């Protein structure tokens, strides 16, 4: 899981471009009548966004017909949404096609940071849209804040610590390896750690990681097998450790696959046949 690329252009210009693409002339005419309100609301959103205090936003409370009109603007398969997804997932090192909420599935939807059901005015605000998978989007639903504040991570702004807080526990048996995951706070700010805990629990990540563990274990075995030809144990361990560290640098310090490999690497029973050959 890594922080995501933020839209850095004028959000209201994007909104107007979406409106312009609509073919329904009567819809476009109605939307023009609320342009000044939307521009002001977009400025308000941007101010809260910059301060990372979206939980303090109050909904405009649009009712029909304005609410329905604004809801019609969002369409995942539209040309501008496709261009937005490409922009958000393109980095200097290439495309980030994995959902960063889970790092299991590919991106196939856009999640609204503040829910569209309550905030129709931000339906197509590009800083309110974050690439994710349908599974995470469904699990998150509209639950994002309570009386104490925000209850979901904002992967645009909540800076993920580059210390290990995700851990894997493994039990090596004769035929299978049982894997479970858990969080442990190494000294992270309590508010951020609570958000991380809520994120992992709400999205069911511990179970989803465990369910997908077999493929990672098989892949790791395939990497280790050729290592048997190296006679020096210290060299073997150094090469394997470097491989895991590089993966963590590329995909995030707490990338679940790397954390699982690290647990396997540190398990004497699992590593015995590969290190002692």
Give dist(CA 126, CA 116) in Å, integer. 13
Collect all residues with Cβ–Cβ distance below 8 Å to 133 and sequence separation of at least 6. 99, 101, 102, 104, 105, 106, 107, 108, 109
At residue 135, φ and ψ (nearest 5 deg) are -65, -50
Cα dihedral 14, 87, 107, 165 sign: negative
**What's the pLDDT score for residue 202?**
93
**What's the pLDDT score for residue 179?**
96
Collect all residues with Cβ–Cβ distance below 8 Å to 102 and sequence separation of at least 6. 1, 132, 133, 135, 136, 203, 205, 208
pTM: 0.90
Show pLDDT as tens, one digit a residue, over the chain (277 residues): 899 999 999 999 999 999 999 999 999 999 999 999 999 999 999 999 999 999 999 999 999 999 999 999 999 999 999 999 999 999 887 788 899 999 999 999 999 999 999 999 999 999 999 999 999 999 987 888 888 788 889 999 999 999 999 999 999 877 789 999 999 999 999 999 999 999 999 999 999 999 999 999 999 999 999 888 888 889 989 999 999 999 999 899 999 999 999 999 999 888 888 877 5
Per this entry, what is the length of the chain? 277
CA triplet 230, 233, 234: central angle to 5 degrees?
115
Closest C-alpha to 30, from 56, 3, 68, 79: 68
Mapping DSSP to helix (H, G, I), strand (E, B) and coil, where does residue 179 land? Answer: strand
Tokens linked to 180: 């479970």
Give dist(CA 122, CA 118) in Å, integer. 9
**What's the pLDDT score for residue 277?**
59
**What's the pLDDT score for residue 124?**
97
């Amino acid at each position: 899981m890594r922080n995501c690329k933020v839209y850095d252009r004028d959000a209201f210009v994007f909104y107007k471009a979406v409106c312009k693409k609509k073919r329904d002339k009567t819809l476009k005419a109605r939307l023009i009548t609320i342009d000044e309100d939307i521009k002001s609301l977009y400025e308000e959103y941007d101010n809260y966004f910059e301060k990372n205090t979206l939980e303090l936003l109050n909904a405009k409370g649009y009712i029909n017909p304005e609410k329905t009109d604004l809801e019609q603007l969002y369409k995942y398969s539209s040309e501008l949404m496709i261009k937005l997804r490409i922009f958000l997932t393109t980095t200097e090192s290439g495309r980030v096609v994995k959902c960063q909420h889970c790092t299991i599935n590919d991106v196939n939807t856009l999640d609204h940071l503040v829910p569209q059901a309550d905030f129709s005015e931000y339906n197509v605000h590009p800083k309110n849209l974050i690439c994710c998978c349908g599974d995470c989007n469904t699990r998150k639903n509209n639950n994002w804040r309570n009386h104490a504040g925000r209850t979901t991570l904002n992967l645009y702004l909540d800076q993920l610590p580059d210390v290990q807080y995700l851990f894997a526990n493994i039990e090596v048996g004769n035929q299978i390896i049982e894997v479970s995951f858990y969080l442990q706070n190494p000294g992270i700010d309590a508010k951020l750690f609570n958000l991380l805990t809520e994120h992992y629990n709400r999205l069911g990540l511990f179970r989803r990681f465990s369910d997908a563990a077999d493929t990672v274990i098989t892949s790791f075995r395939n990497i280790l097998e050729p290592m048997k030809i190296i006679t020096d144990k210290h060299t073997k361990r150094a090469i394997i450790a470097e491989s895991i560290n590089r993966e963590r640098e590329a995909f995030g310090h707490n990338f679940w696959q790397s954390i699982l490999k690290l647990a396997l690497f540190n398990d004497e029973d699992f590593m015995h046949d590969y290190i002692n050959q």
